[in-house]
């Protein structure tokens, strides 16, 4: 049945329907996700091995972890903001973009062991693999700055941990996860709940520390998803496959 709405909205809904059909029925998209996940995890391991081979003191090590924590929260939040407001369903990445939007329709994940969540959700981080590959290339040079290599290695790992943090915010009732969220190390359910109930806010999902910065950027760049991309999956009925 045709959906009521302006012609451009109907067009976007039709484009979304086509893109999500490809996402769920063309095996190449699933295989691409596994390939990206494998590349990200291997690059994270290689960067950690390179970092741990370089000399550093405890203070510099701690500073690198803190820097990586802030950077991972910020950068992953910005990518989330960009993706939530991206409706280019006819581009080659269109099926991946449509698949990304399903989280707003079906916020709860399939329950899985956390290492599996870490791996599978790393497959959606297409942008991370080239960043880590470039970082590994520069980290292998003799003049590589140890602090930068440590920070990049932890940034890579924490970018995937952010996916686990987001999963826990939706699926977990574990007291340990709640305690880590209260301590500010992981994402709190309340903070992330705003992203789903309000519009154009709370995009960050490692621990939400950089939310105010991303909220400010989002207000400048976008009008929000509630009257944007959230309207495009109106026909989607399947249970999803996250
Ligand atoms: Zn979102
Ligand atoms: Zn969510």
Q: Which two tokens stand for residue 83?
A: 């993706």
Closest CA to 236 of 16, 82, 27: 16
Which structure tokens are listed for 159? 């970018």
5 CA distance to ligand 2 middle (Å): 27
- 149 CA to middle of ligand 2, Å? 30
Burial code (b: 16+ CB inside 10 Å, e: under 16) for 107-145 equals: bebeeeeeeebbbbbbbbbbebbebbeebbeebeeeebe
Q: Give the ligand with the smallest distance to the CA of 193.
A: 2
Which residues sit with Cβ closer than 5 angstroms to ligand 1, an ion? 84
pLDDT at 1: 45
What does residue 68 show for φ and ψ, rounded to 5 degrees?
-65, -40
Whole-angstrom Cα distance, residue 138 to residue 146? 11
Ligand 1 centre distance from Cα of residue 224 (Å): 10
**CA of 162, nearest ligand number:** 2
Ligand 2 centre distance from Cα of residue 167 (Å): 8
**DSSP-derived 3-state class of residue 116:** helix
pLDDT at residue 237, as a whole number = 86
Residue 157 contacts residue 48 (beta carbons within 8 Å): yes
C-alpha 206, offset from chain centre: 9
Alpha carbon of 185 to ligand 1 centroid (Å): 20
Enumerate residues 6+ apart whose C-beta is below 8 A from 236.
Answer: 16, 17, 20, 102, 105
Q: Supply the pTM of this predicted model.
A: 0.93
Residue 85 Cα, ligand 2 centroid: separation in angstroms?
15
Instruction: Measure the CA–CA gap between 233 and 18, rounded to whole angstroms.
Output: 11
Tell me the CA–centroid distance for residue 104 and ligand 1, in Å: 6
pLDDT values of the chain reduced to their tens digit, one per residue, 242 residues: 445 567 799 999 999 999 999 999 999 999 999 999 999 999 999 999 999 999 999 999 999 999 999 999 999 999 999 999 999 999 999 999 999 999 999 999 999 999 999 999 999 999 999 999 999 999 999 999 999 999 999 999 999 999 999 999 999 999 999 999 999 999 999 999 999 999 999 999 999 999 999 999 999 999 999 999 999 999 998 654 44
The pLDDT of residue 240 is 46
Ligand that lies nearest to the alpha carbon of residue 82, given by its number in the listed order? 1
How far, in Å, is the centroid of ligand 2 from the Cα of 95? 19
**Distance of alpha carbon 149 from alpha carbon 140, whole angstroms:** 9
Residues 194 and 202: their CA atoms lie apart, in Å, by: 6
Q: How far apart are CA 20 and CA 101, in angstroms?
A: 10
Q: Kindly give the distance from the C-alpha atom of residue 103 to the centroid of ligand 1, in angstroms, as a whole number.
A: 7
CA distance 121 to 124: 6
Report the C-alpha gap between 47 and 158 in whole angstroms: 13
Tallying the residues shown for the chain, one arrives at 242
How close is the Cα of 61 to the center of ligand 2, in Å? 31
Which of 114, 200, 202, 121 lies closest to 159, judged by CA? 121
Residue with tokens 């405890």: 58
Q: How far is the CA of 55 from the centre of ligand 1 (A)?
A: 39
**Which candidate, 204, 193, 2, 34, places its Cα nearest to that of 107?**
193
**Dihedral sign, Cα of residue 84, residue 89, residue 94, residue 95:** positive
* Predicted pLDDT of residue 6: 73
Domain boundaries defined on the chain: 7-231
């Amino acid at each position: 049945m045709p959906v009521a709405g302006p012609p451009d909205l109907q067009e976007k809904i039709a484009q979304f329907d086509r893109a999500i059909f490809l996402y769920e029925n063309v095996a190449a998209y699933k295989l691409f996700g596994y390939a990206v996940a494998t590349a990200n995890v291997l690059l994270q391991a290689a960067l950690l091995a390179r970092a741990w081979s370089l000399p550093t003191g405890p203070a510099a090590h701690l500073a690198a972890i803190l820097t990586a924590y802030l950077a991972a929260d910020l950068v992953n939040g910005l990518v989330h903001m960009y993706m939530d407001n991206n409706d280019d369903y006819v581009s080659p990445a269109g099926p991946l973009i449509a698949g990304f939007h399903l989280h707003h329709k079906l916020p709860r994940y399939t329950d899985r062991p956390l290492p599996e969540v870490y791996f599978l959700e790393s497959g959606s981080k297409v942008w991370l693999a080239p960043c880590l590959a470039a970082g590994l290339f520069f980290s292998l040079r003799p003049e590589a700055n140890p602090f930068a290599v440590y920070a990049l290695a932890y940034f890579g790992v924490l970018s995937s941990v952010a996916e686990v943090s987001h999963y826990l915010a939706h699926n977990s009732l574990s007291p340990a996860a709640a305690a880590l969220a209260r301590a500010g190390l992981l994402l709190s359910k309340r903070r992330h709940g705003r992203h789903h109930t309000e519009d154009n806010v709370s995009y960050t999902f490692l621990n939400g520390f950089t939310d105010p910065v991303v909220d400010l950027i989002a207000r400048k760049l976008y009008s929000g998803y509630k009257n944007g991309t959230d309207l495009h999956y109106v026909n989607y009925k399947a249970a999803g496959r996250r």
